[in-house]
């Protein structure tokens, strides 16, 4: 069965983006960037891949991406940000998809995930963001891969938004990088 993996960057204080969706404040260092390019090449947007030496690179982990409307519309000019993956956008307000390669799902993200998990797949399912969608899908998350950057945002969009609903996870691996950032993989406890 395919897994739903919330692979996300976050500040020390738990924000995935600033109040206006900003995420360019995360400090990047070569050793972390090299690791991400080698282990998660499919998480780099299609239009950027040729500029960073990843054009034609095979997907290593994910075959499908699910994102909320705000995550999808980070760059309004790019209508198929992850053309090398199956793309789903969960949105009640987006309406018709602006691109035939992107399927808009107007509701029931949990049902979508259950259906995708049951399909034979070409890799796991990447929950790309945002925090509201992650909050809705918390019971379906099989793994967290948290890129924690050594910066305090002070406010913005939280990693999870929604009702108070604690769920325990266990860290299974932590990698540290030269800027003090870490990538920690968690799996549900128990």
What is the per-residue pLDDT across 108-118, written as a single tens digit (0 to 9) for each?
Answer: 999 999 999 99
Indicate whether 190 pLDDT > 90: no
Judge if the upstream peptide bond of residue 130 is cis by omega within 30 degrees of 0.
yes
Give me the pLDDT at residue 95, please.
Answer: 85
Q: Give me 55's structure tokens.
A: 């054009």
Distance CA 182, CA 71 (A): 23
Task: Please determine, for residue 128, whether its predicted confidence score (pLDDT) is greater than 90.
Answer: yes
According to the model, what pLDDT value does residue 124 have?
A: 97
pLDDT tens digits, residue range 42-74? 999 999 999 999 999 999 999 999 999 989 988
| Own/partner pairs, 170-179, CB within 8 angstroms, 24+ separation | 175/35, 177/29, 177/31, 177/32, 177/35, 178/29, 178/30, 178/31, 178/32, 179/27, 179/29, 179/32, 179/149, 179/150
Question: Which is nearest to 67 in space by CA: 89, 45, 98?
Answer: 89
For residue 123, what are the CA distances in angstroms to 45, 86, 91, 119?
17, 10, 24, 11
Phi, psi of 102 (to 5 degrees): -120, 125
Residue 126 has pLDDT above 80, yes or no: yes
Mean pLDDT of the chain: 95
- What's the pTM? 0.95
> How far apart, in whole angstroms, are the C-alpha atoms of residue 146 and residue 182?
8
Q: Helix (H, G, I), strand (E, B), or coil: what is residue 41?
A: helix
| CB 73, CB 130: distance < 8 Å | no
Whether residue 26 is predicted with pLDDT greater than 80 in this model: the reply is yes
Residue 68, sorted as left (phi over 0), alpha (psi -120 to 50) or beta, turns out to be beta
Look at residue 121 and tell me whether its pLDDT is greater than 80.
Answer: no
């Amino acid at each position: 069965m395919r897994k739903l993996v919330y692979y996300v960057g976050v500040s020390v204080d738990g924000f995935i983006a600033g109040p206006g969706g900003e995420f360019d404040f995360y400090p990047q260092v070569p050793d972390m960037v090299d690791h991400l390019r080698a282990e998660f090449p499919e998480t780099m947007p299609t239009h950027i891949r040729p500029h960073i030496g990843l054009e034609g690179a095979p997907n290593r982990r994910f075959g499908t991406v699910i994102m909320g409307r705000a995550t999808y519309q980070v760059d309004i000019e790019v209508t198929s940000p992850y053309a090398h993956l199956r793309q789903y956008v969960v949105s009640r307000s987006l309406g018709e998809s602006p691109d035939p390669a992107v399927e808009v799902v107007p509701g029931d993200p949990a049902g979508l995930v259950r259906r995708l998990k049951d399909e034979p797949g070409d890799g796991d399912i990447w929950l790309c963001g945002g925090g509201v969608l992650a909050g809705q899908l918390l019971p379906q998350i099989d793994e967290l891969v948290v890129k924690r950057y050594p910066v305090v945002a002070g406010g913005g969009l939280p990693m999870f938004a929604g009702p108070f609903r604690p769920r325990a996870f266990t860290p299974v691996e932590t990698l540290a990088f030269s800027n003090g950032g870490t990538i920690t993989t968690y799996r549900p406890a128990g």
